[in-house]
């Protein structure tokens, strides 16, 4: 992913930054993105006890197409602890262990940007999707974790869905949403993706996924008064499937709107959608967070997942729905927009708003 040439907001240079769960797939994405970033300097990598004490290049099974930078390969993997010496921490830990570790880091003064589900529904933790609900960052003032803070990323599927829905909510409102997903193998991580029976197959169940999407979407689209979030009242039903696609979650969506809108109005809403990250020119902000592709066979993971550095949601196949009002297909890169890139954009937004101490 290319970054803008924006200089660091810190006079003495980039902010010291750590990645937790650095050997996993999302951790690797974070490592790759941060190493090329103008605002953050990768100073600590942390992983499981099996990896700690080893050089990162030896501990990791690097699976990205981008080469592992030599400087990063030489860094020693540390045990996960609050003593990482980083102002900004990106967490790619499993939800089973992330909660107390992230709270401990916040208590030690770190700003933690988490891909884990542990704090997504915490009333004082922003569930942040930069273009949609930047105002939810005000919730950090209510946190009592310590001098630091925790900001959560949504589920990877939720991120793409909300980016497709938010422009429609702005122009016509949302009443009901029916969703069927075709989710990439990489969404199960390195271990999960390799162990699934996906050759000539489809798995019609992803544990906990449907519930996460339904709850998180309402929270992100909800109104925040600075004290709490009032979830959006839309009714949402999700059905999730794992498919044999490397990267890119495909979403088949039907919507009922609150007010009538034409196809042209909806397409204009997608193509014109932007938010605070674009207004601020943040390094990881895509030029077009959503974009409509009028081709009959768009969007496709192989053709559209990497657009705008993997940070764009591409929408296509808009047509009338016989049950609700409209139906369409959307596509998002699950480990970039839906995970590492989304967390990085959230951190940029918090820094740009002056929330993260930089000196």
pLDDT digits (tens, 9 = 90+) for 162-212: 999 999 999 999 999 999 999 999 999 865 555 678 989 999 999 999 999
Q: Can you give the pLDDT at residue 194?
A: 55
Residues 316-351 have pLDDT tens digits of 999 999 999 999 999 999 999 999 999 999 999 999
Cα–Cα distance, 109 to 48 (Å, whole number): 22
Mean pLDDT to the nearest integer, 66-88? 94
Q: Can you give the pLDDT at residue 2?
A: 46
- Residue 283 reports pLDDT greater than 70: yes
- Residue 6 reports pLDDT greater than 60: no
Return the active site residues.
Answer: 156, 249
Q: Which of 108, 98, 338, 54 lies closest to 23, judged by CA?
A: 54
Residues 38-56 have pLDDT tens digits of 999 999 999 999 999 999 9
Domains and CATH numbers, the chain: 15-155+340-352 (3.40.50.720), 156-333 (3.30.360.10)
């Amino acid at each position: 992913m290319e970054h803008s040439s924006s200089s660091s907001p810190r006079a003495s240079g980039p902010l010291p930054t750590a990645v937790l769960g650095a050997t996993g797939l999302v951790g690797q994405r974070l490592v790759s993105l941060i190493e090329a970033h103008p605002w953050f300097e990768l100073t600590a990598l942390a992983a499981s006890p099996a990896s700690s004490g080893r050089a990162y290049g030896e501990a990791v099974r690097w699976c990205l197409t981008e080469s592992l930078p030599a400087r990063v390969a030489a860094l020693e993997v540390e045990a996960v602890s609050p003593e990482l010496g980083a102002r900004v921490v990106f967490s790619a830990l499993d939800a089973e262990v992330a909660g107390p570790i992230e709270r401990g880091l916040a208590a030690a003064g770190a700003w933690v940007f988490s891909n884990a589900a542990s704090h997504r529904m915490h009333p004082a933790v922003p569930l942040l999707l930069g273009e949609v609900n930047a105002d939810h960052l005000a919730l950090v003032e209510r946190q009592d974790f310590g001098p630091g803070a925790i900001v959560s990323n949504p589920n990877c599927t939720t991120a793409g869905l909300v980016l497709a829905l938010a422009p429609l909510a702005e122009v016509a409102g949302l009443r009901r949403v029916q969703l069927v997903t075709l989710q990439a193998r990489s969404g199960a991580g390195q271990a999960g993706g390799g162990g699934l029976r996906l050759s000539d197959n489809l798995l019609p169940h992803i544990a906990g996924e449907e519930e996460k999407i339904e709850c998180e979407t309402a929270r992100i689209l909800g109104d925040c008064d600075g004290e709490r979030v009032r979830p959006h009242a839309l009714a949402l039903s999700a059905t999730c499937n794992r498919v044999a696609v490397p990267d890119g979650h495909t979403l088949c969506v039907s919507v009922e709107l609150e007010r009538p809108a034409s196809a042209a109005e909806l397409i204009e809403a997608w193509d014109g959608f932007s938010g605070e990250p674009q207004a601020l020119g943040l390094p990881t902000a895509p030029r077009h967070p959503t974009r409509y592709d009028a081709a009959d066979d768009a969007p496709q993971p192989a053709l559209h997942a990497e657009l705008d550095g993997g940070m764009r949601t591409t929408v296509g196949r808009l047509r009338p729905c016989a049950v609700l009002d409209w139906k369409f297909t959307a596509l998002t890169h699950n480990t970039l927009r839906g995970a590492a890139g989304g967390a990085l954009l959230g951190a940029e937004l918090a820094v740009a708003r002056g929330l993260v101490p930089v000196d």
